[in-house]
Amino acid sequence: MITKIISGLLGVSIVLSSIPSYANTRTVWISGKTNDGSRMFLDNKEIPVYDPPNGLTMFSYGITDPQGKTRWRNAVTDWCHQGKVQHNPKSTEDKDPTPKWYIALDDGTGGSADLLKVKADSKASLNLIKVVCDMANYNQIDQ
């Protein structure tokens, strides 16, 4: 599982396209806030991608903290299945019922990155993964 996640993060595919429901704006702000008060957003030019053979969805998102600092994260999740937030059966069994994704934190040296598990345990993070799954459902990698 970790190998799939790392390869998914390293090979994050950013597809430059849009789908009609998000086409009216470039930045898709996610409703709600994270547990620390941050806001999350997606750029509709960087559509999440679902890779059926691996059961993983790759995406990029932005997060702006309460002080106004914005950072981008590349992420991968196995919690998108058939356009809904549910654990993908192609991935390993996950006993934790909380949806989650993984991000790679760069150590700044160009070496290996540490994986950080992000639980969707706030209104914003749950809404983010819902939008990611919906958008990725329209943009699947061919098998």
Q: Write the pLDDT tens digit of every residue in 31-76.
A: 999 999 999 999 877 889 888 888 899 999 999 999 999 999 999 9
Mean pLDDT score, 74-87 = 91
Backbone angles phi, psi at 20, to 5 degrees: -55, -40
Q: Residue 117 falls within a domain, yes or no?
A: yes
Each residue of 114-140: pLDDT tens digit? 788 999 999 999 999 999 998 888 766
Residue with tokens 């069994």: 93
Number of domains in the chain: 1
85 occurs within a structural domain: yes
* pLDDT of 81 strictly over 50: yes
Assess whether pLDDT exceeds 50 at residue 92.
Answer: yes
The tokens for 121 are 């345990």
Asked whether residue 95 is assigned to any structural domain, the reply reads yes
Range of the domain at 52: 2-137
One-letter amino acid at 17 equals S
SS3 state of residue 137: helix
pLDDT: which is higher, 21 or 64: 64
Q: Does 142 fall in a domain?
A: no
Contact 78, 9 (CB under 8 A): no
Smallest CA-to-CA distance from 124 within 29, 34, 28 is with: 34
Judge whether 143 lies within some domain: no
